[in-house]
Structure 1
């Protein structure tokens, strides 16, 4: 039986209210090969079929113990709806964009009038409805999506995105205005469908790829608009060592920031984001979560908790070949910490 406090604990954490213990979950992708076998729903079909997507997403809660249901499992839903051709991937590889439809004519990038009817947008709303009926009001639902920067880079191409920050910033700014609007409209509809939080994933905006100066000039204004638009909890995940932009992100209005293990000083990170923004993470998805022992996971989880992490989670999307026992070890480590 689900813990009736899971959803309240999650929402209270992100709105600055007291909780009995730190939530343990994932705000990034949760599909694994073992969970595909347990649920009977496997990639690539589970990316494109509502019932299978819901079954696989739910299995991370019912079989692995994560205290939220997070879906979908890729970052191509908005890209596809905006015109990208999508490579479907395979059972252990996520879908990926196979084209950049506005690389040569960025001036033609605009919000389609039929956006909500395109690609898998209706499917994700169906998945939300299915999951809300299955978990009731006790378990939080988290919907992931490409962030404005990542979506723009898919539509115009990564090379163009990065070079235009220097050579054509005004054109890139116009592209980001459109992609932010896409994210905002999609988010509003997701909340109406029943999600509790959305998490934008914007790896290309991180300092490992983009100069923080361009973050401030081009992307921060769109993040601020995104956070001001509509209602609900808005989270962000940025890959790499995001320490240098944590203060900037916290001032945009996100209730939570998901960080990778490359952010090594959690106490310093907490000071940077202040008391109004929750830090989420940051056990290595490709390291200890994938290949570590349960004892090593417990040690890393304790480090996170002692460092002041607000939501205990993998630092990035869970690797498809991660054992279920390692995901459970994350939950058990949190429970042991509070005994």
Structure 2
């Protein structure tokens, strides 16, 4: 069984020969950039370099993922935010927000033709044409996080209590932009879309606000996506894991702060049974869990044997996808990511 079939089978709740070792989050690391000649920041704006870097960890070490882009600023920039494009070892970041207040936000349909959106779509097409035997995964910025980019995350969170109706309208506007972008991504040839919602984490947002404000928009987005889909939320997400699982995604991606066993228990309690019907394409599917080898500590700063030990722990806990807990830090040693792949192979060779 090849990597692409393996990953897609798990997302479809079909049998596989072994747990996939993949990444639904960003995969650009400096060592790989240098080996394949596709460094940041050029790889953020050049479709050929984006495609090359996106496939680098699959080609170099067998990570079962081709993943683009490498930041969460593509949509915000196209809508009007000013972006600092970063350096070879630093991701792009928002330099200036596009709007002053929630009520000012307007997103015209032409945004999909601006900025780096066409770059991402072209990179997807190039990778699709190459026909590699690995899933083509494309990350987008979720509605809450993108709303924060547009007006400022602190202002967004504060405005939930001050002007809730305007925040509701803002999120509805942004999720429509998400839906349009996801349709373009699917049309270009992606296999999987990862919806990244880092600022919807309980570390920043009250779990009740997630449940009643963010969750309905994530469900709307999930129901619109016609290909496989994964929801990633950073931080100590255990209080919202049950709600994440009920959003309609084929898998949820969680950080090392969340215990896999406790996450499974929370999902079971939330949905009432292991498999439950969802108003989305493909019928009833069991929600899978991806994770959760520490990116900030083990993969970034640890030794290969420490990576293997943590990966083994996740596999023993029954994770459905062995994966980094979050996006890889650019200075992450290639040997450490390779160790994660080797840990999976050694586990199933026993």
TM-score, normalising length: structure 1: 0.96
> Contact 1:22 / 1:311 at 8 angstroms: preserved in 2?
yes
* 2:324 aligned residue: 314
User: What SS does the aligned partner of 1:228 have?
Assistant: helix
Question: Which residue number in structure 2 is paired with residue 199 of structure 1?
Answer: 194
| Aligned position for 1:126 | 122
1:283 aligns with 2:293: yes
Distance in 1 (CA, whole Å) between partners of 2:232 and 2:215 is 14
Q: Distance in 2 between matches of 1:204 and 1:45?
A: 27
Instruction: State the SS of the aligned residue for 2:61.
Output: coil
CA distance in 1, matches of 2:171, 2:248: 18
Q: What are the superposed Cα offsets for residues 75-108 of structure 1, whole Å, 9 maximum, x if unpaired?
A: 100101111011110110000111111123x323
Please tell me whether residue 272 in structure 1 is matched to residue 266 in structure 2: yes
Q: Which runs of 5+ in 2 are unaligned?
A: 269-273, 275-285
For residues 173 and 146 of structure 1, the distance between their equivalents in structure 2, rounded to whole angstroms, comes to 18
TM-score computed with the length of structure 2 as normaliser: 0.93
Partner of 2:205: 210
1:324 maps to 2:334: yes
Matched positions, count: 333
Aligned to 1:189: 184
Moved over 4 A (4+): none
The residue that corresponds to 1:337 in the other structure is: 347
Does structure 1 residue 100 correspond to structure 2 residue 68? no
Q: Secondary structure at the match of 2:295?
A: coil
Instruction: Check whether the contact 1:31–1:73 (CA below 8 A) recurs between aligned residues.
Output: yes
Residues 32, 320 of structure 1: 8 Å contact kept: yes
Q: 1:174 aligns with which of 169, 173, 176?
A: 169
SS in 1 for 2:339: helix
Per-residue CA distance 1:211-252 (angstroms, 9 max, x = gap)? 011111211110110111141111111111111101101111
Give the match's secondary structure for 1:180: helix
Q: What is the Cα deviation at residue 115 of structure 1?
A: 2.3
Query: By how many angstroms is 1:111 displaced?
Result: 2.9
Which residues of structure 1 form unaligned runs of 5+? none
